[in-house]
Chain A
Amino acid sequence: MKDQVERASRWIYRGVWAVLVRWFRVPEKPPTLPTPPGEEAVSFRPAEGFLRYLKLKFWIVLTLVDGAVLVGWIVVTAALPWLGVILALPALVIAVFPDILAYIAIHLRYDTTWYVITRRSLRIRRGIWIIHETTITFENIQNITVMQGPIERFFGIANVVVETAGGGGRVKEQHGGQIVSGHTGLMEGVSNAAEIRDLILRHVRQTQTGGLGDEMEHAARPAPAAAWTAAHLALLREIRDAAHALGTSST
């Protein structure tokens, strides 16, 4: 019985997914980043724990909302039994229908969230109705924040937020509580937050510039010593020898 339910739900979910891909043009493939040859971009989803974390939140909210609906219905029924009978079906629909939608939405949210990391940059894709892809190079990152709440710690996940220069009223609540804003990249629910943090931090520490496009000042004026090549040096040696010969022969 449980197997059948599981198989049926999986089948329905695949149907929903197919509709999304075909009719709503949700990209099927994970995002990638262009990389130099010989280097692979790693695309991954949030950790499994993130899905469980979202589901736990879902069950808590479900208990509260459905409990409220039930209590409300009992109160109405106690006061006016005939109204309670009429309202039984609508109340059941109100209690159950949004839950199913929310449950599917959790899975879809999980399945449409992708992170890509290469050695120099990261890309985040998020969203179903509005698909939002953010690309940030490590070179531009100003700071990294790792956030973890007690429940998230229990599930072994954390949120990594990277910020680039600029900002101003940066946190905009959109898409059902997800932070979508410029100058930030949010990688929520990753289990290897420390690794990601170290990878990015190593890169940020190596960077010589402020991350504001200011490295051109160094690049535009190459140090004179660096402009000499082996060919130059060979010629200079010949010149020295010739001058030397001139000097010795004339005296």
Chain B
Amino acid sequence: MSDTRPSSASPAFDPYTIARPDPALLKYYVIVSFLAGPAFIVPLIPLLCKYYTLRYHFDDKGISMSWGVLFRREILLTYRRIQDIHLTRNILQRWMGLANVSIQTASGAASAEMAIEGILQAEELRDFLYHQMRGARGLAPLDAKGAEGTTAGTAGAPSADEDEALRLLGEIRDTLVRLAAREKGPP
């Protein structure tokens, strides 16, 4: 897993450990709600519910994201299906170090299928996702996984220990050689 990480990311950044949004997101939600003035309670409650239940899960194939108290929602998508990545920061988010990383797949909606909020290292996350995206995979050094499909010709000779076919062939050869020797040996 470690070899799929983009080299450009800071060493401290590991997307696989992201599970919860940063507490700064809570502050951001509160400020945004109070911008609505006296009616702040209307946006505040759903946003608080979202913040406290928001969970991320990154694995080596895709992302899942879930939130909601009464109405629950869970989104799952795979890296390969990502069409475009948008990083949006309004002025308040820039002050607080936050950003929206929106991910789009090839579905009919014009809005983003998944909007990841509350990640402080949004640029690293974006570049991580970029590296997992189609068309960007196979970017030289970071991509040992992406080469899986094409190992055969390029990866050089695999040692007999790793390659089962090679080991089996070796056994067949040894047996044949032994048989041939036995046939030849005693008259």
The chain A residues found within 8 Å of chain B, CB to CB, are 24-26, 33-37, 120-121, 129-140, 164-170, 172, 181-183, 185, 207, 209, 211-213, 215-216, 218-220, 222, 226-232, 235-236, 238-239, 242-243, 245-246, 249-250
Indicate which residue in B81, B84, B104, B158 contacts A213 across the interface (CB closer than 8 Å): B81
A167 CB to nearest chain B CB (Å): 6
Judge whether B149 and A220 touch: CB under 8 Å.
yes
> Taking A34-B6, A239-B176 as contacts, is the C-beta distance between A183 and B83 under 8 angstroms?
yes
Contact with A along B127-139 (1 / 0, CB 8 A): 1001101111001
**What are 8 A-to-B residue pairs whose CB atoms are below 8 Å?**
A34-B8, A34-B139, A35-B139, A138-B135, A212-B106, A213-B106, A226-B152, A242-B177
- For the complex of A and B, list the 6 residue pairs with the smallest distance between their C-beta atoms, beginning with the closest: A139-B135, A137-B135, A219-B149, A165-B106, A36-B140, A242-B176
The distance in angstroms between the C-alpha atoms of A45 and B72, with both chains bound, is: 43
What residues on A are CB-neighbors of B81 within 8 Å? 212-213
B85 — which chain A residues lie within 8 A by C-beta? 134-135
Note all chain A residues with C-beta closer than 8 A to B165.
227, 232
Given A24-B94, A135-B85, check contact A120 B179 (CB 8 Å).
Answer: no
Whether A232 pairs with B176 at a CB distance below 8 angstroms is no
Q: How far is the CA of A249 from the CA of B136 in the complex (A)?
A: 57
Tell me the dominant secondary structure on chain B's binding face. mixed
Interchain CB contact (< 8 A) of B88 among A26, A133, A236: A133
Closest A residue, CB atoms, query B105: A166
**Residue in chain B with minimal CB distance to A38:** B140
Q: Judging by beta carbons under 8 Å apart, are A34 and B127 in contact?
A: yes
B135 engages A121 (CB within 8 Å): yes
**Chain B residues packing against A (C-beta within 8 Å):** 6-8, 78, 80-81, 83-91, 94-95, 102, 104-112, 126-127, 130-131, 133-136, 139-141, 148-150, 152-153, 156-158, 160, 163, 165-166, 169-170, 172-173, 176-177, 179-180, 183-184
- Residues of chain B contacted by A26 (CB below 8 angstroms): 94
A168 and B173 CA atoms in complex are apart in Å by: 61
Question: A36's contact among B78, B107, B141, by CB below 8 Å, is which?
Answer: B141
Known: A25-B91, A139-B134, A235-B169. A213 touches B80 (CB 8 A): yes
Complex partner residue of A140 from B135, B140, B180, CB under 8 angstroms: B135
Q: Are A182 and B177 in contact (CB under 8 A)?
A: no
The interface residues of chain A lying within 8 Å CB-to-CB of B135 are: 120-121, 137-140, 207
Min CB gap A11→B, angstroms: 25
Shortest beta-carbon distance, A250 to chain B, in Å? 5
**Cβ contact within 8 Å between B158 and A137:** no
Partner of A216, one of B80, B83, B126, B131: B80
Question: Nearest residue in A to B7 (C-beta to C-beta)?
Answer: A34
Question: Beyond A138-B135, A182-B104, A182-B112, is A222–B149 a contact (Cβ under 8 Å)?
Answer: yes
A1 and B90 alpha carbons, distance in the complex (Å): 40
Q: CA A242 – CA B169 in complex, angstroms?
A: 12
